[in-house]
Amino acid sequence: MKNKYKIIILGITIVIIFILFLRVLNSNKTYQPNQMIGKKIPEFILEDLLNKNTKLDSNILSGKDFAILNIWASWCIPCRIEHPFLMDLKDKNQINIIGLNYKDESMNAKNFLKKYGNPYSLIGIDKKGEVAIQLGAYGVPETYVLKRGKIIFKHIGPLNEDAVNKILELKK
Amino acid sequence: MKKFIFIIIFFILSSNVFSANEELKNKIYKNIRCIVCQGQSIYESNSDFAIDLKKLISKKLDNGENEKQIYEFLISRYGEWIVFNPGLNLNSLALWLLPLLIFMIGGFLIFRLNNKEKK
């Protein structure tokens, strides 16, 4: 009888250890880009690139029903690839796009917009890249879709047709 | 003379505070994963991302935030993956408790065997 109990307890212990190991084995061990999804956009106030008297305040974003926040820089080659997608989102789909100019020279950024067009309604200057870290970004370009100030989707890397379709779907 | 001694004491004390702060900084840097590098901490990396994080951590420490608050901030932005030393949560429970459990079972078995031999 005693032996029977021992076997049962041993069996239960093995099963518990097995479940614990299985949990750890299946847990996510890579960078989780979805960490910020569902969270409110962090608070920040930045100077606007094109108008010194205007500020990009994160509270403005909280008031918007649907907006895109795009992290870009003039020195970033993939940003040039995604730029036509941003122009289309603005011109064809009337989506409000806000830019975050990441560790850039203002002159170069302005020249970039002159050459490729300006899809942004406001552009915050993130000279030290601190706001990008607040947003959980780790490079350029990155795009956040915001609904009433809440991050509902994030795309890492240059926008492509799939990402644009996803954004348009989210807007519906 | 008194002034001179005072200056020397002040210098020694301030350099101690400075090195303690540097030690804490380095300890945090070594525990933060550079997620754009391959298996490196931000302490070892000179990538843009690592440099930015180091600057931000240093600034946060200067503003009076403690080690725990910095880890919490980074985990909230980049997930548990960013720290090399994971905290106690449901996923890391086995990692923390199993050595203790095995140690206790081993101790119990040795105790039982000892008792049996005595009898």
Neighbours of A28 (CB within 10 A): 11
Is B49–A134 a contact, with Cβ atoms under 8 angstroms apart? no
pLDDT of B57 strictly over 70: yes
Look-up of token digits 């009888």: A1
Residue numbers in chain A where pLDDT is lower than 50: none
* Whole-complex ipTM: 0.74
If you count residue pairs, one on A and one on B, with CB atoms under 8 Å apart, how many are there? 54
Q: Which residues contact A136 (CB under 8 A, 6 or more apart)?
A: A35, A36, B77, B78
Taking the CA of residue B114 and the nearest CA in chain A, the distance in Å comes to 19
Instruction: Write down the mean pLDDT value for chain B.
Output: 84
3-class DSSP state for residue A153?
strand
Answer whether A129 touches B (CB < 8 Å).
Answer: yes
Q: How confident is the model at residue B117 (pLDDT cuts 50, 70, 90)?
A: confident
B90 interface with A at CB cutoff 8 Å: yes
Residue A99 has phi, psi (to 5 degrees) of: -100, 150
What's the rounded mean pLDDT across residues B91-103? 78
More confident residue, B4 or A115: A115
Give residue A45's Cα distance to chain centre. 18
Measured between beta carbons, the chain A residues lying within 8 angstroms of B82 are 31
Asked if B79 has any chain A CB less than 8 Å from its own CB, the reply is yes
Question: Domain map of chain B by residue range?
Answer: 2-87, 88-119
Provide the 3-class DSSP secondary structure of residue B1.
coil
The secondary element (H helix, E strand) that includes residue A164 is: helix A161-171
**Is the Cβ pair A138, B49 closer than 8 Å?**
yes
pLDDT at B96 over 80: no
Q: What pLDDT is stored for residue A65 in this prediction? A: 85
Amino acid at A99: G
Homologous superfamily (CATH) of B2-87 is Cytochrome C biogenesis protein (1.10.8.640)
Predicted local confidence at residue A31, as pLDDT: 61
DSSP 3-state assignment of A41?
coil
pLDDT of residue A10: 86
In one-letter notation, the amino acid at residue B34 is: C
Structural domains of chain A in order of their starting residue, each with its CATH number? 35-171 (3.40.30.10)
Q: Which of B36, B52, B79 sits opposite A133 (nearest CB)?
A: B52
Sign of CA dihedral B16, B84, B50, A140: negative
How long is chain B?
A: 119
Nearest to A35 among B49, B77, B92 (CB): B77
**Is the distance from CB of A3 to CB of B84 less than 8 angstroms?**
no
pLDDT score at A26: 75
Judged by DSSP in three states, A145 sits in strand
pLDDT value of position B116: 82
Of all residues in chain B, the one with the smallest CA distance to A28 is B81
Give the integer Cα–Cα distance in Å for A102 and A127.
Answer: 6
In this model, does residue B31 exceed pLDDT 80? yes
Contact of A30 with chain B, judged by CB distance below 8 Å, is answered with yes
Which residues, including other chains, have CB under 8 Å from residue B14's CB and lie 6 or more apart? none
